[in-house]
Structure 1
Amino acid sequence: MGRIKIELSKKKLYTLYYVQNKPPHLIGKMFGCSFSTITNRLKEYGIPLKTPASARMKYKKYDFSGDLIEKSYLIGFRLGDLAVSKTNPSAETVVVRLHTTHDVQIDLFKNLFKKYGQVSLSKSSTNPSTNLNAFLNKSFEFLLPKWDLVEEWIIQDEKYFCSFAAGYIDAEGTFGIYQERARFKVDSYDKEILFQIHVWLDKNNIINKFFRVAKKGDYVRYGDYHFKKDVWRVNVNDANSLLEFINLINPYIKHKKRRKDLEKNLKNIARRKLKGSIR
């Protein structure tokens, strides 16, 4: 007896297998045939069979857009606040993790990654923190390295560096009003990254300072812990320089609180200019 011929077009099979992510045995049940019949039809049509890892994926993952401004931002945000890993070198899933107590950080994380893959959220039972995981495909392997440096392709392009700095500042930076004056600072263990931000500010004629604010082992009373490394700071206190800095970075900031605080800085500078306390 000859093989039973099923009516299943290449387009329909591709949609079921790749778009709807249905495994061959379920497709076989839909058409009253076996698992092997479906896998043979996939081969006949030249549709690549999924690897075991990709076949186990429950949720659809989408490739990174390739936009270098977005990539620069994500790298900056990752180096400032995210943990990124794969379960093993050959794994096809890149897991991005965030541990936070701030709702605005949760919203930002979701907005950055939900268009590319599943984002899961779990609340801690012992404290008010939230753990978030984004499950992405291999096109996000560029987020794996945790380097204390800014990559050369970012340094060489002003827009890329602005976007990188915005991502890092959304993770680690602060715009505030202190002694009735607008100020900016970013504190971090990442000495080389902060030094590169300092050099970039200098290049743009923005008055800033780069210095160590704490030593490894120093005790932090409000958090009851000791610093694991030296802590470094870049700050901008001069009003006109802060205005220039905000104009550079404003188009790239995504964090809602950073944006609100940044606007408060602008209003503070405008008010002081009207009073004539600064020129």
Structure 2
Amino acid sequence: MPNIRKNIDKKELKVLYWQKYWSAHKIATKFDCTYSTIINRLKEYKIPLKNSSLARQRYLKKDFSGDGVEKAYLLGFRIGDLNVYKTNPRAETVIVRCHTTDKNQIILIKNCFKNYGKVTISERKGHFHINCFLNKSFSFLLKKFKKPPINVKITKEIFAFIAGYTDAEGNFILNQGKARFKIDCYDKGVLFWIASKLKSQGIKHKIRQLGEKDKEYYNGRKLNSDLWRLNINFANDLLNFISEIIKHSKHKKRISQMKIAKNNVLQRLAQGTIK
């Protein structure tokens, strides 16, 4: 008795195999046929086969959106606070991870990547570990750039990068009743790049070295590298800075700090204590 050809729709097969990320074995079970039938039908329909690495993956990973502002933010945040790697050069998976005691940071990272791949979070005694499993379209995060690869002609991408880095490293504080912004970090190249972009936007700031590598800092610990600080202290400049950064910030605590800082400046302006 001749074999009866199994009717498998090309469009449905492609959706199951690549969009829903089903394995050939799972698809074969659905259509009550053999694994080899599915493989042969994929070849017949000229649907690309997954390589061995992709075939072993058990969950769907989506390509990065390609949005320039989103990319700029992620690059800034990555330099400030993320560890990004592949298990080997040929691996299809890019892993983004972070260890922190800040729950807001974990929520931020989860929200950044949950629509692109699997996210796992573990917690022990107030310490959080998060791992995000992404595809190769996130390879732009692998290198920790000393100079941000941002299109300097697009202002919103510049501030999106600064917002990402600020969410990781920056702080808005009240010092002697006056709102201030500061970043303390080892990333001299990034900090001077940010300073140059603030200058081009007419935002006054200060940048200085706080400590030298291998010398004690004010809290008694040795520095791993030279430590630098960027400040924005002048009220109107701080307002201008906040108005740009808050458009892109994703950190709950940082957004709250900005609102407090803004209200402080506005109150002082209303009271006439700022010249």
Q: Report the residue type matching 1:209 in the other structure.
A: K
Q: Report the alpha carbon displacement of residue 220 of structure 1 after superposing the two structures with TM.
A: 5.1
> Could you tell me which of 205, 212, 217 is aligned with 2:214?
217
Question: Where in structure 2 are the equivalents of 1:7-26 lying within 5 Å?
Answer: 7-26=7-26
Give how far 1:25 is off: 2.6
Partners of 1:154 and 1:164 within 8 A in 2: no
* Distance (whole Å) between structure 2 residues aligned to residue 145 and residue 250 of structure 1: 26
Say whether 1:180 aligns with 2:212: no
* Partner secondary structure for residue 270 of structure 2: helix
The answer for the alignment partner of 1:48 in structure 2 is: 48
Gaps of 5+ in 1: none
CA contact (8 A) 1:93 1:138 kept: yes
Matched with 1:226 is 222
Between the aligned partners of 1:30 and 1:244, the Cα distance in structure 2 is 58
Aligned mates of 2:202, 2:16 — CA distance in 1: 57
- Residues 215-244 of structure 1 show CA distances to partners (whole Å, capped at 9, x for unaligned) of 11233575x642100111100111121112
Distance of 1:68 and 1:141 partners within structure 2:
15
Q: Residue by residue, what CA displacement relative to the aligned partner does 1:156-180 show, whole Å, maximum 9, x if unpaired?
A: 3211111100000000000010110
Distance 2:45 2:193 in 1: 52
Determine if contact 2:100/2:129 at 8 Å carries over to the other structure: yes
From 145, 151, 154, the equivalent of 1:154 is 151
Are positions 1:123 and 2:123 aligned together?
Answer: yes
Letter paired with 2:177 = E
SS state at 2:230 partner: strand
Q: Pairwise mapping of residues 134-213 of structure 1 onto structure 2 (< 5 A)?
A: 134-151=132-149, 153-213=150-210
SS at match of 2:247: helix
The amino acid that maps onto 2:114 is K
Superposed CA offset, 1:57-115 (max 9, x none): 11111111111011100100001100101111111111011111111111111111101
Question: Quick one: distance in 2 between partners of 1:253 and 1:264?
Answer: 15
Q: Distance in 1 between matches of 2:156 and 2:16?
A: 41
Q: Normalising by structure 2, report the TM-score.
A: 0.94
Q: Distance in 1 between matches of 2:78 and 2:88?
A: 20
Distance 1:190 1:221 in 2: 19
Give the match for residue 259 of structure 1. Answer: 255
2: CA distance, partners of 1:96 / 1:8? 38
Q: SS where residue 58 of structure 1 aligns?
A: coil
Once the two structures are overlaid, the 10-residue window that deviates more, 261-270 or 224-233, is 224-233
Tell me if structure 2 keeps the 8 A contact 1:175–1:182. Answer: yes
Partners of 2:36 and 2:50 in 1: how far apart?
A: 14
CA contact (8 A) 2:211 2:217 kept: no
Does the C-alpha gap of structure 1 residues 221 and 232 become closer, same or farther in structure 2, counting only changes over 3 Å? closer
Preserved CA contact (<8 Å) 1:173 1:187: yes
Moved more, 95-104 or 198-207: 198-207
Aligned partner (choices 257, 265, 268) of residue 269 of structure 1: 265
Report the AA paired with residue 129 of structure 2: N
Which letter maps to 1:266? Answer: K
Q: Secondary structure at the match of 2:246?
A: helix
Residue 63 in structure 1 maps to residue 63 in structure 2: yes
| Poorly superposed stretches of 4+, deviation over 6 Å | none
Is the partner of 1:278 in helix, strand or coil? coil
Shift of 1:13: 2.0
Q: Write the distance in 2 (CA, Å) between the matches of 1:237 and 1:181.
A: 8
How many residues are treated as equivalent by the alignment?
275
Q: TM-score, normalised by structure 1?
A: 0.93
| Aligned pairs (5 A) from 1:90-105 | 90-105=90-105
Residue type of the alignment partner of 1:146: K
